[in-house]
Chains A and B, each alone.
Chain A
């Protein structure tokens, strides 16, 4: 469960996120759709406790974002950007274990979980090899495993397919859907209509830091005379440039 209330972030004069209120249920994928600079990354960084909100608050998995950031971090996993972000000189297993340990997992539980994820992602062959020499696909799987090593209730994806080729994009989509089927609450930021249409249960269109439209695709279309998502997006976010 994610619930934000008037979440706001200023960078000096710039209002990057402006009174953002949304909620995401268990087993739901919420799409945060917006152009470059709309405030998607800033929103997700606040939810991941990397940035402190200027005002407003959020509750993630029952924990208060402002008062209890450490607990919030125990409940979230992130996959930011298309880059897998692994330590090249560590093996896949060492990469994953590092994040497990920093998330206070016991050594016993950690090794069990690595074994389990190795099987889930089919990494048996290279789990003990250094990540620097991996193919893109291998890196991607290790990064997936790393993001969910501590089995978080909430997953935050920030444009996870940017810069990836078709098969890699498909892998990401499958991973996101897997996360949903495990009952996680998910926010996926994207600037791709088709991606959001394909995956998301509900959508929020963000423009200049403000949430300008929100609802399921069906609801949005109902509110906008049955137009396509793209047309709706242009209508609510395109005009005011």
Chain B
């Protein structure tokens, strides 16, 4: 094995790939263009959705269309809700809801005023569509308004009866948030980045890995290469470095794309978990470095596995097929853990290849750093680098796979 030969092989392979327009476009250009578009639509879409939920449109049934009821709703109940608007009267509530004419149709009992006076409860019927997410979310706003109004009526009655309002609240709850200041983080990033990173690291090296062994076998350049004075391990390592590098080229391209997307629609990055707060997004430098190292080792493992598969394959086509299966395998842990929150992370996850990198990334983005866990992830990753490289080297020395013809 000689550093000089490894370097010669590496330089040649990089030059060769850089001249391949197709690889460059898939590895570099598409991520840089595609990511901002993705971010823009996802960010923009969610923003629009949130606005939509707030903007509640309400119609009345024909029999509820009286001045009394109108004043009850528009002034008393929804007076403090400027985003709630009344859109006339509908004859058929079912049709109006299903055709999305309005979000709610309200039907108030005609004799409500009398009942109110008597102190007996009256009903407001709310027509809505439970299968519509927006309708369901807006429903909260609607009921809140009605409950507030109801509460006011109760208080008024108690005051009239000379009863202290405190009787309504035998216990009061005092919330004290003890969450770690650094916790929280960015929900969107925590969900998407680990999954995306693992898939991209897997996919990024595939064109290079296919070309560098299976392609070379097919083009009949492999045998002359093996008869140079470069040892087989030097050739393998030169190719290995190339594949590892290209795993990261596409990741970096993707991050650049994500950044451009973030500049275009900043709201994407400030979206929070449901009910959570906008987290302060800062990863301690030590955790950041550990995570980057873990990701690099993940790229090295993928590079070795991909080269091993490319060596095993009978042809370029066959290598492409096997490697596309690898992409699918790489996707599984990413998707499976997408909704996982940093405090759901389990110790065992930091031992399993690929899952350990995803978990480490999630932990860092979440801000709840456990350095023991990160250390375990890095340690196991390094072990997997050695194992996968040994497997690739073994494959590269198998005469029956290297010379299939």
Contact = CB atoms under 8 A, between A and B. Distances in A.
A89 B229 contact: no
Contact of B16 (A11, A89, A102, A103): A89
B229 A85 contact: no
Interface string B92-130: 000000000000000000000000000000000000000
A97 B400 CA distance: 30
Interface in A125-169: 130, 146-147
Give the contact-size bracket for chain B: 20 to 34
A98 B8 contact: yes
A99 B220 contact: no
A45 B403 CA distance: 10
B226 interface: yes
Nearest to B238: A102
A76 B227 CA distance: 8
Contacts of B226: 48-50
B15 interface: yes
A80 B8 contact: no
B19 interface: yes
Interface in A78-110: 78, 80-81, 83-90, 94, 98-99, 101-104
B223 A102 contact: no
A52 B399 contact: yes
A21 to B, nearest CB: 22
Contacts of B224: 78, 80, 85, 99, 146-147
Contact of B220 (A85, A130, A147): A85
Given A52-B399, A78-B223, A98-B12, 14 more contacts: A45-B403, A48-B227, A49-B226, A50-B227, A50-B402, A51-B399, A73-B227, A78-B224, A83-B219, A85-B223, A101-B8, A102-B229, A103-B229, A130-B19
Interface of A: 11, 41, 45, 48-52, 70, 73-74, 76-78, 80-81, 83-90, 94, 98-99, 101-104, 130, 146-147
Interface pairs A-B: 7 shortest CB-CB: A85-B220, A102-B228, A89-B19, A83-B220, A102-B230, A85-B221, A48-B227
